[in-house]
Amino acid sequence: MVKWESVVTGKKNGGLGIKNLIFQSEALRMKWLWRYSFEDQLMWKRVVGAKYEAEDSWMTKDVTSPYGAEEDALWWKGSSKGIFKVGAAYRLMEQPSQQIPIWPWRQIWKGRIPYKVSCFIWLLAKEAALTQDNVMKRGITLCSRCFVCGETSETVSHLFLHCKFTQQLWRVFLSLKGISWAMPRRITEALKSWEEAGVLAKDRTRWRIIPASI
Ligand SMILES: [Zn+2]
């Protein structure tokens, strides 16, 4: 129910953080080019050099220009120290296609929560879990009614935020913690408000467990 693009987007940018293999292999190939310019004695360099450098000036044409080489030393523009790093190159290639103004990535991925629960919250925050409204968007005809209260149509935010039964659960935790709370409209807003309410909490990672358990 989510686009592949958002699966391979980084967690901070609202994705699931699965590595994009095209970017990764590109970054690894760049690493070889980078190493080629420093390692003089190694066998692999001599083999590659013998094969290509003799034919044309492969090294100066292809290696130096994309990385902003100076005359004497290679300087990679992607990092402040000028040294090529695969991870940094990957992050540079992975520019978010659209900026998400509030994406609660810490609340989703940085709590002491099992990974599968984090993935489920990610789906909820994307409003892409298989609630009846999303099933209907796929062209399946249903008479959508909340599975729990039966009063209104079943959407992600109704089921996890606004349903009267879910609200009771929220109220238990809110009164335990003494928080005054107006229930936000969306899951992302709820996660963000919860984080703000927990500013004074001693242990952030534990604080983040509570919405996850609801
Ligand atoms: Zn309901």
* Rounded average pLDDT over 54-77: 53
Question: Residues of the chain with pLDDT > 90: what percent?
Answer: 0
d(CA 134, CA 165): 21
Contacts of 182 (CB under 8 A, 6+ apart): none
Centroid of ligand 1 to alpha carbon of 214 (angstroms): 14
Centroid of ligand 1 to alpha carbon of 139 (angstroms): 22
Q: Which residues lie at CB < 5 A from ion ligand 1?
A: 146, 148-149, 163
Reported as a single tens digit per residue, the pLDDT across 78-128 is 777 778 888 888 888 776 656 666 788 888 888 788 888 888 888 888 888
Residue 110 corresponds to which tokens in the numbers above?
């940085």
What's the one-letter identity of residue 29?
A: R
CA angle 112, 98, 135 (to 5 degrees): 70
In the numeric block, the tokens 């130096």 are attached to: 64
Centroid of ligand 1 to alpha carbon of 116 (angstroms): 24
Reported as a single tens digit per residue, the pLDDT across 47-62 is 777 777 655 444 444 4
Contacts of 64 (CB under 8 A, 6+ apart): 37, 74
Centroid of ligand 1 to alpha carbon of 154 (angstroms): 7
Is this model's pTM higher than 0.95 or not? no
Centroid of ligand 1 to alpha carbon of 123 (angstroms): 19
